[in-house]
Structure 1
Amino acid sequence: MSAPDELVRAVEATLFASEEPMTWQDISTHLGDADVKPALAELQAHYAKRGVRLVERGKKWFFQTAPDLAHLLRREKEQIRRLSRAATEVLAIIAYHEPVTRAEIESIRGVQTSGGTLDVLMEAGWVRMGPRREVPGRPLTYLTTPEFLAHFGLESRRDLPGIEDLRAAGLLDPVDAAMEALDFEGGDETAEDDGDDGEFARTDTDAAGE
């Protein structure tokens, strides 16, 4: 980036000073409705091989440490957030099926979902409440957040791994089973369970402590 013009410098300064990721519309408004898209592209190219990168996640722009240098900035003791199996299942279902209601989550999992499980995911900043579904009772829906995309290094939900990838890795069994269940109706779901007796009769009570 040689002799950057004033707009590129202004966009760079705005993003460095911002405490939260910003959409290009936010940046544009902050800079007097300027056309900031070319400046963002120039800055992204400029920082592509530097110690920090300019990235877009969930349509929001922010600077982050280059992946190969992240280990240099980790604290010697870091607190690791471990999700319970229930929370992992619910997060996966929301990511692949959003917007989704709690009843729909329970239908896919085959078990009741405690409010604590959703609270854990919302406290982590990975799930938020969405609009109410226009059906009787008007239940709330749940969506993933830009923070979810940023944490897992995704530009959008289109970058989520496919079912074959998940199956090969042995991950997200409830989502895998739910997708396969679309191929048959009226079957005995418990007959498809792979040995976890009582899976479809249990109640989700392990939201935060597993």
Structure 2
Amino acid sequence: MAEATHARRAKGRPDDGRSGDRLFDRELDHLPPEARWREWMNRVEATIFAASEPVSRETLARIVGKSCSIDLLIDDIREELRGRPYDLVAVAGGFRHLTRPAYADAIRSAFGTAVGGNERAADLTQSEVLVLMCIAYFQPITRGELSSFFGKEISRDLIGHLRGAGLIASGPRSPTPGAPYTYVTTKEFLLEFGFDTLRDLPDVEALEDAGLLSKEKLLAGDILPAVETEMRADDEFS
């Protein structure tokens, strides 16, 4: 009798031993293929909608069948969202619902800020944006190296503002004399600027071709004066 009871308990026990999985059917083998795919789509969209931060592929894999392609599922969900004011985007190593840029003004008018947008990034000065860009491309990088790039001292206050905004963090100690701290961008940086990974940063060559960045000027410390000149010129013609 005890052996029979043990056999019944063992039947259906998940391989990883988590009791909660016994009550959750990931595979949905009882459904026809189209209905199964639809249910997986609904589960994935509901999970992402309910999350306060990007949901990883690993998390989504817990709610769909083992043979299910997360990427194909996301593609089908995004196709259904065409024409809607929000989309499902890959950002910071996961997936998240974000409103489309075309509706930023309407959201800002309603709430005073672009909810779900770049609130912290919008508060940055031009100099802070340029320093943040330099950290993103050349991390890990020290404050001294940043100062050399820009031809002027990068203050601790500027670094502190970027840290306070959660956009950068301390990286490994530099192997240079004194072992100063280096700085790296964070997951919040990816979220704020809508990047999935740092590989999504525009190529330096592409920025140069577009006239937005000159590697030679950056290394020579000429970027900030050039930007200030452009800003003054914009003011004259506005």
TM-score normalised by L of structure 2 = 0.60
Q: Is the 8 A contact 1:48 1:54 kept in 2?
A: no
Q: Quick one: distance in 1 between partners of 2:92 and 2:216?
A: 25
The equivalent of 2:189 in structure 1 is 148
Tell me the secondary structure at the aligned position of residue 109 of structure 2: coil
Give the structure, 1 or 2, with the largest relative contact order (CA under 8 Å, sep 6 or more). 1
Q: Distance in 2 between matches of 1:49 and 1:147?
A: 28
Q: Residues 111 and 50 of structure 1: is their aligned pair in 2 closer, same or farther, counting only changes over 3 Å?
A: same
Q: 1:6 aligns with which of 28, 31, 39?
A: 39
Displacement, 1:55? Answer: 0.3
SS in structure 1 of the partner of residue 189 of structure 2: helix
Match of 1:69 among 87, 94, 103: 103
Once the two structures are superposed, what CA deviation does each residue of 1:4-43 show, in whole Å capped at 9, x if it has no partner? 43322221111111111122123335x3895562333332
Question: What one-letter code is carried by the residue in structure 2 that aligns with 1:71?
Answer: D
Aligned-partner residue type, residue 108 of structure 1: F
Q: What displacement does 1:154 show?
A: 3.9
Question: Which has more helix, going by share of residues?
Answer: 2
Task: Compute the displacement of 1:172 (Å).
Answer: 5.9
- Partners of 1:18 and 1:127 in 2: CA distance: 23
**Which amino acid counterpart does residue 28 of structure 1 have in structure 2?**
A
What residue in structure 1 maps to residue 57 of structure 2? 24
Q: How does 1:28-39 map to 2 (within 5 A)?
A: 28-29=61-62, 31=63, 37=70, 38-39=72-73
Show the counterpart of 2:83. Answer: 49
Whole-Å separation in 2 of the counterparts to 1:151 and 1:101? 23
Aligned sequence identity (%): 29
Q: Which moved more, 1:57-66 or 1:74-83?
A: 74-83
Asked which structure has the greater CA Rg, the reply is 2
Moved more, 47-56 or 14-23: 47-56
1:185 aligns with none
1:80-159 aligned within 5 A: 81-134=122-175, 136-157=177-198, 158-159=200-201
TM-score normalised by length of structure 1: 0.66
| 1:173-210 CA-partner distances (Å, limit 9, x unpaired) | 7x65135x5xxxxxxx7xxx59x6xxxxxxxxxxxxxx
Distance in 2, matches of 1:132 and 1:5, equals 50
Note the aligned Cα RMSD (angstroms). 3.5
